[in-house]
């Protein structure tokens, strides 16, 4: 938002200003999602097995490659968002569709990974890398929930979607660093 737009918004009557009210329900629901995932992962007795690694050598390889795919699609998300918001100047009528579909595909790739992590392994706090990974996983799904619920809301501040998108990307980047990158550098690049 430019300085002129900020000044214009601050001069609006109190009832017409953009406020945080429309974000209250998305924030509460997203927080509950993050907490519920963490609690479930902590109280559920890990089974050690959840998802068959169809086409992959092992569940860790499957999770590493699916997370890498989701991370690469998240990079596409950032690029398309920058194009849509005019931060990268180009004539790209395809950017909104690319943004929506790359986001959908990235989210779908995370589902079997999250299911395996929660059901087979649970939330763990004994190893720092795994603890950070567990917390980031809960945070990722919480902030993703907030972003999806905030999308259709009118009257939210202009920084809402860029902030939520940035937090979602940051959480997914952290998840990739604490899982896929760790796997590829410790175990090796395997299918």
Q: Which residues contact 184 (CB under 8 A, 6 or more apart)?
A: 64
pTM of the model as a whole:
0.81
- Report the C-alpha gap between 128 and 132 in whole angstroms: 6
Q: Is residue 121 part of a domain?
A: yes
With a cut of 50, say whether residue 16 has pLDDT above it: no
The values of phi and psi at residue 16, to 5°, are -100, -5
Q: How many residues does the chain have?
A: 191
Residues 6+ apart with CB under 8 A from 45: 122
Residue 22 in any domain: the answer is no
Residue 116 forms part of a structural domain: yes
- Kindly state whether residue 2 falls inside one of the protein's structural domains: no
Residue 181 has pLDDT above 80, yes or no: yes
Residue 18: inside a domain: no
Task: Name the average pLDDT for the chain.
Answer: 84
Q: What is the mean pLDDT of residues 152-173?
A: 89
Which pLDDT does position 53 carry in this prediction?
67
The residue segments making up the domain with residue 101 are 55-191
Count how many domains the chain has.
Answer: 1
Q: What is the pLDDT of residues 33-73, one digit of tens each?
A: 999 999 998 888 878 776 676 777 777 888 889 999 999 99
HEC states along 99-140?
A: HHHHHHHHHHHHHHHHHHHHHHHCCCCCCHHHHHHHHHHHHH
Name which of 70-74, 81-85, 120-124, 169-173 the model is least confident about.
120-124
**Does residue 100 lie in a domain region?**
yes
Q: Is 28 among the domain residues?
A: no
Residue 66 lies in a domain: yes
């Amino acid at each position: 938002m430019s300085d002129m737009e900020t000044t214009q918004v601050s001069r609006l009557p109190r009832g017409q200003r953009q406020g945080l009210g429309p974000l209250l329900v998305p924030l509460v629901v997203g927080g509950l999602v993050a907490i519920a995932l963490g609690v479930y992962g902590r109280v559920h007795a890990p089974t050690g097995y959840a998802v068959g690694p169809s086409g992959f050598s092992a569940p860790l390889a499957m999770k590493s490659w699916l997370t890498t795919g989701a991370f690469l699609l998240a990079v596409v998300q950032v690029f398309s968002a920058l194009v849509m918001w005019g931060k990268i100047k180009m004539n790209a009528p395809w950017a909104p569709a690319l943004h929506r579909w790359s986001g959908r595909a990235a989210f779908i790739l995370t589902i079997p990974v999250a299911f395996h992590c929660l059901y087979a392994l649970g939330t763990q706090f004994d190893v720092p890398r795994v603890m950070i990974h567990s917390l980031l996983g809960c945070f990722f799904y919480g902030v993703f929930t907030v972003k999806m619920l905030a999308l259709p809301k009118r009257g939210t501040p202009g920084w809402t979607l860029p902030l939520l998108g940035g937090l979602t990307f940051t959480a997914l980047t952290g998840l990739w660093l604490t899982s896929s990158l760790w796997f590829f550098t410790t175990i090796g690049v395997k299918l």
